[in-house]
Each structure stands twice: as structure tokens, then as C-alpha cells.
Structure 1
Amino acid sequence: MTGFDRSRSVDEATLRYLARAFGRRPEVEHTSLFPTNNLESLVVTLDAEYYPEYVESVSLELRAYTNGDFHVSYHETRAGDRRRCRWDRHDQPHNARDHYHPLPDAGTAAAVDRNYATDLTRVFEETVLPWVDDRVGTLWESATD
């Protein structure tokens, strides 16, 4: 992550809450809170059984900060091809503070401005999880074409 603001702190309470919430969901294979290779994150690995067999792995990576900034990345791997998108709230020169980087590569040039709920848990309920559900449906529809 470029332009990291050292004055912001990881919102550990929110990430712990989300880890517990995700841990209760049937489509979650496992969660990893503050893994050694990504100390500011919650990584949620989704159960590949919910996806067509050509999808090898799917995960979400969450970063939350006490100043309200966040980054939520969706990672999907199939046949060695990695696709990703990202929901962000942070100040930067390319978009509004709230913005979205779409599939397939979460590129900055394709980012679009968004308006997210103030609370990150609501961002998940209203934006991220419905998008993931739609993505699963899209993948299954394309698998039967």
C-alpha cells in the first residue's frame, strides 16, 4: 500500500468483531486475524465448495483503521489466474475518499467513486457481501454456458 499514513492506527476491535461474525458464516472456511505476513489485516478464506470447480480459491482481506479508513479486497484464483477488486475509504489523488476498484485487477485507472455507510460492518452488510453473493451467481451462470 503506497502512501501509508503512519498516524492512523489499526482498528483492532472492529477487525476482531468481524472475525467472530465471519467465523459463524457457513461459507467461510477459516479466518486469520493479524497473520504474520499481513499484521494489519483480517483474512477470510471462503469455502471453494460454494463456487464452480474451476475456482480454486476465494478470500477477502480486510484492513480497518481508527480514523475510518478501510480497504477490503476480494481475491479469486482460477487456473492460476488471479482476479481482484477492492472497496476503499482513504484519501488519495485518483478518486473520492470512498471508491471501488473493479475486477479483474482492481486497477487505479478503473476506480469509481462510491458512497459507503459510515460503519464498516454496514459496508459489509450492504455492499461487500451482496456483491460476493452476486459474484458467486455470475460464476455459476457462466459455468453452465
Structure 2
Amino acid sequence: MSGPDLSRSVDEEIIRYLSRLFGRQSEVHHTSLFPTNKSECLVVALDTEYYPDRVDSVSIELRAYTNGDFHISYIEVYSGDRRRCRWDRHDQPHNSRDHYHPLPAASTAAAVDHEYATDLTRVVETTVLPWIDDRVGIRWDSVA
């Protein structure tokens, strides 16, 4: 096993850009750029008014690196139960470089290979946000 990738540093420019984009969305309650407990991360708290009452909180955590690696987590607390999924681009032994860890736990064992756009902004636009829109619908359907 090799050591840490020294070329992998935080891509502050893209994270700041995405923070500005998310900050303009009505579905976003607030954003936290590089919070002290997640110093490489953009944390986006979504407005739970768009979800059924039993959804306590929803957030996105986004990490981006100058070598093209990224991790985007969706975290939903529903009736006290924490659910998580994650879109990843990084080298590791369990899947292809681009892969997805599904709900409910984003486990490595459940990860599936995926193919993402090269640009992280496009990944957010074409993969993550449509998935979240579908998830909101699923949450409402489960209440009916």
C-alpha cells in the first residue's frame, strides 16, 4: 500500500465557487465553508420545509481536491435515524475511481462503479441535485 497522495490538496477555488452557487438557492438553509470541525469541506444545510415533518435535518458535505478527487455526502436524519450516501472520485481497491455508496449507510460493501462528468460543478448539476430532487419525492411518497 502506498503513502498519502501529496498532490492531493484542497481545491479551495471550486469549493468557494460551489458555496456561492448553493448560497443562492431557496432550498438551502445555510452554507458553512471550511468549518473548524470539517476544515476541508463545504457543508450545505438544506431547508427541511421541502421534506415531510419527520425529516429532522438534511445536509450535503462536499470535499474537492486539486487532483480531481472529490467526496460528496448526502446526510439525512429521519425520525432520529441517520442515513447517508456518497458520490466519490478517488483511487482505492474496492471499486473504480468513480463510484457511489448508496443509502442507507454509504458502506464500502454496497459501493457501485459509476461514471461522472469531468467537472465537479457538472457532477453536482447532473448527478447529485437530480438525485436529491428524487429523494424529496420518495420522502413525500412514503408519507402518503
* TM-score normalised by L of structure 2: 0.96
Match of 1:75 in 2: 75
Name the SS for the 1:82 alignment partner.
strand
Match of 1:15 in 2: 15
Name the SS for the 1:135 alignment partner.
helix
- Looking at structure 1, the residues matched to 55 and 29 of structure 2 have their Cα atoms a distance apart, in angstroms, of 15
Aligned residue pairs, count: 142
**Residues 8 and 65 of structure 2 are in contact (CA less than 8 Å); yes or no, is this contact kept in structure 1?**
yes
The residue correspondences of 1:1-145 to structure 2 (distance < 5 A) are: 5-144=5-144
Name the SS for the 1:84 alignment partner.
strand
- Looking at structure 1, the residues matched to 39 and 5 of structure 2 have their Cα atoms a distance apart, in angstroms, of 16
**Residues 116 and 123 of structure 2 are in contact (CA less than 8 Å); yes or no, is this contact kept in structure 1?**
yes
- Looking at structure 2, the residues matched to 81 and 4 of structure 1 have their Cα atoms a distance apart, in angstroms, of 34
- Looking at structure 2, the residues matched to 58 and 117 of structure 1 have their Cα atoms a distance apart, in angstroms, of 25
- Looking at structure 2, the residues matched to 56 and 4 of structure 1 have their Cα atoms a distance apart, in angstroms, of 37
- Looking at structure 2, the residues matched to 141 and 127 of structure 1 have their Cα atoms a distance apart, in angstroms, of 21
Deviation, 1:109, is 0.5
Percent pairwise identity: 74
Deviation, 1:129, is 0.1
Gaps of 5+ in 2: none
- Looking at structure 1, the residues matched to 99 and 61 of structure 2 have their Cα atoms a distance apart, in angstroms, of 16
Name the SS for the 2:16 alignment partner.
helix
Gaps of 5+ in 1: none
**Residues 55 and 76 of structure 2 are in contact (CA less than 8 Å); yes or no, is this contact kept in structure 1?**
yes
Q: Which amino acid aligns with 1:113?
A: D
User: Please, what is the CA RMSD of the aligned residues?
Assistant: 1.0
- Looking at structure 1, the residues matched to 126 and 112 of structure 2 have their Cα atoms a distance apart, in angstroms, of 17
Structure 1's consecutive aligned runs of 4 or more residues displaced over 2 angstroms after TM superposition are 3-7
